Structure 1
Amino acid sequence: MKKRFRSALLASTALMFMAAAQAHAPDETVTPNFSHAITNIPGKSIIAVEVTYPPGAASLPHSHAKSAFIYAYVVSGAIESQVNDQPARVYTAGQSFYEEPGARHRVSRNASKTEPAKLLAVFVVDTNDAPLTTTQK
């Protein structure tokens, strides 16, 4: 039973990663980093992706899976972010921010026109809640 559940989780996670990558701009790179069911919280998983922005690159406005709480950590460079109607803010390497479930990520971009930037996004999400990222119109 555990083996079947793990296989289903891996398949579900692969689909989430593919959907997340498709919702981002073509010059960004979204790379799976980690995925695991949270064993003491049935139906919940933790999923981490690295988002690499070339100089001047930006994500399209987007939202995430409705159940997703997101912790974002700037690994390198500087990322400008605006969530919902909060003011836009620039976060530099070592700083972090979060997004509540149902939030709209209006701005997510490399704040530099000359240096790359990298962000680690960690999702706590319902295991079967997909897609992980959806582009907004």
Structure 2
Amino acid sequence: MNARCIIGAACAALAIATAMPAAAHDPGDVVTTHFEQAIPNIPGKTLTAQIVDYPPGGASVPHRHADSSFIFAYVLSGEIESKVNDGQTQIFRAGDSWHEPPASNHVVSRNASKTKPARLLAIVVADSDEKALTTNIE
């Protein structure tokens, strides 16, 4: 074998190895906290505003919300497919909203489109001492 063949084979192997992890699973979501503030007239409670960006085909892993959290969700753009607890799977479009009671299991939360991004605003009221607003369901 000459050097050109060895280098070519190494480059091909590297290209396959770096491409496979991206193709092996769906893209996720990006959660950005934009606001977090203790509620002055409700001691022990904090209000948090988060933006959840879903790329085309993106999805959140199934997760559980904190025991004390009450969530209001509002679709800013695109379409979000959601299922909370044992409820129906629903598609919400820009301008639609819903709420999630404390300690909900959010088993489906994803972009309903494979070609367009989607964006969600989540407003969370929870106990100020909650360590995590969500934990993955295994």
TM-score bracket for this pair, using the shorter chain length: 0.7 to 0.9
> Residue 53 of structure 1 aligns to which amino acid in structure 2?
Y
1: CA distance, partners of 2:28 / 2:85: 24
Counterpart in 1 of 2:130? 129
**What whole-Å deviation, never above 9, does each CA across 1:82-134 have from its counterpart, x for those lacking one?**
00000100000000011100110010000000000000111000001121110
CA distance in 2 between partners of 1:106 and 1:27 (Å): 14
Regions of 4+ moved over 4 Å = none
Q: CA RMSD in A?
A: 1.1
What are the ranges of 5 or more consecutive residues in structure 2 without an aligned counterpart?
Answer: 1-25
Q: Give the deviation of 1:27 after TM superposition.
A: 3.1
In structure 2, what is the equivalent of residue 44 of structure 1? 45
Which residue of 1 is the match for residue 104 of structure 2? 103
Q: Are 2:28 and 1:27 equivalent residues in the alignment?
A: yes
The number of residues matched between the two structures is: 113
Q: 1:96 to 1:110 in 2, by over 3 A?
A: same
Q: Which stretches in structure 1 are left out of the alignment for 5+ residues?
A: 1-24
State the percentage of identical aligned residues. 54
Bigger CA radius of gyration: 2
Q: In 1, Cα distance between the equivalents of 2:137 and 2:28? A: 18
Q: Distance in 1 between matches of 2:117 and 2:126?
A: 28
